[in-house]
Amino acid sequence: MALLLDRMAPDEAAATKLLGQEHFQVAYVTTDLDRARALLSDELGLRDYVRMSAPLPDGGVLTADFAWAGPLMYEIIHATGAGADFFQDAVLAQPSSTLAFHHLGFLVRSREQWEHLLADARSRGWAVPYLVHRVGRSVFMVKTPHLPHYLEYIAMDERALKGMRAPPRA
């Protein structure tokens, strides 16, 4: 099915700014991954999840379920162990909730552009509480003083991008 709105790629000037990147993801955190997944599936229609686990920089473990709905990927994160508080604090602040909004995810076209965005965020004095380099992928999250959530920036090589395209899409 065709999208109702044509999407324009950012121009050269916008591509140097944090919100000028390719927005592709909405991410939530949870203390109960299976319950959160069921809620988003049964009540909101997400399906065909892919689960991934990875070590956190401080030694904990991040487990995430990913599902596509049209042009957006939805991510549900559950983190445990050392370093998990960065992810879990938002949901723990809402004890009656299964999910808490955590970040918007943006793809960055090159590692050089990613480095520029990271330097720009740091030069503004904004917190960069998450920074990870893995094979084929570099990720950082920034917290601006103007938004109540994080912004995530991901630069990937072609192999990693191919893996991102692989999850089934609703």
Residuewise pLDDT in 10s, the chain (170 residues): 677 777 777 677 777 888 889 999 999 999 999 999 999 999 999 999 999 999 998 999 999 999 999 889 999 999 999 999 999 887 777 777 789 999 999 999 899 999 999 999 999 999 999 999 988 889 999 999 999 999 999 999 988 888 777 656 65
Task: State residue 112's pLDDT score.
Answer: 93
DSSP 109: S
Rg, Å, the chain Cα set:
16
CA–CA separation, 130 and 141 (whole Å): 5
Tokens of 37: 């997944």
User: Is residue 112 helix, strand or coil?
Assistant: helix
| Contact predicate 69/117, CB 8 Å | no
Domains of the chain: 22-165 (3.10.180.10)
| Size of the chain in residues | 170
